[in-house]
Amino acid sequence: MPRDPKRICPVELAGHLDSRFRRWLHDPRKILAPYLAPGMRALDIGCGPGFFTLDMAYLVGKTGHVWAADIQPGMLDTLKSKIKGTELEDRIDLKLIEDGRFGGLDSFDFALAFYMVHEVPDQPAFFKEIHSVLNSGGLALIVEPPLHVSRQDFQATIRTAQEAGLIQADRPKMILSKAVLLKKG
């Protein structure tokens, strides 16, 4: 199924995805600290300009690694310019998703999909991909915006994830968000 480009945040609006207001509203370290630790391998799916990626890299430390994946080269270019010449450059790999698949990268302890699952045209395939790349016991945090995603649609997303073999581990509370923590059994 082809992507509807109107459903995807364009690169030109990347600044809105990486603002002080958003950092206050969705503090990456506060959100991610319960799930990430030094030495872990993490995947930021739909990373955009790297709002969460940078903090993920700090949380996994020098012995960990983060893969930032996006379908838009411009978003990855923005992130690349942020990390160029910093200590994070060796800790973050960028992955352009061209075929809707992010598998084949590696295996991960943690995956994040923040405010992007509603943009995915084939959610069953998406969650099968997540299942395929997570280590046994690995976690995936899925967070969706309340204005774009109804309660009913979010429940359907959770069911789709469960059908792909992921288990609902928690329903973390987040400001202006619907969130679920999934676990690979």
Give the whole-angstrom CA distance, residue 182 versus residue 123. 15
Model confidence at 106, pLDDT cuts 50, 70, 90, reads confident
Kindly report the CATH number that applies to the domain delimited by 5-184: 3.40.50.150
DSSP 66: E
Query: Mean pLDDT for the chain?
Result: 89
171 neighbors 151 (Cβ within 8 angstroms): no
Domain boundaries, the chain: 5-184
Write the pLDDT tens digit of every residue in 56-69.
Answer: 999 999 999 999 99
Does 103 have pLDDT greater than 90?
no
Torsion of CA 16, 153, 141, 54, to 10 degrees: -10
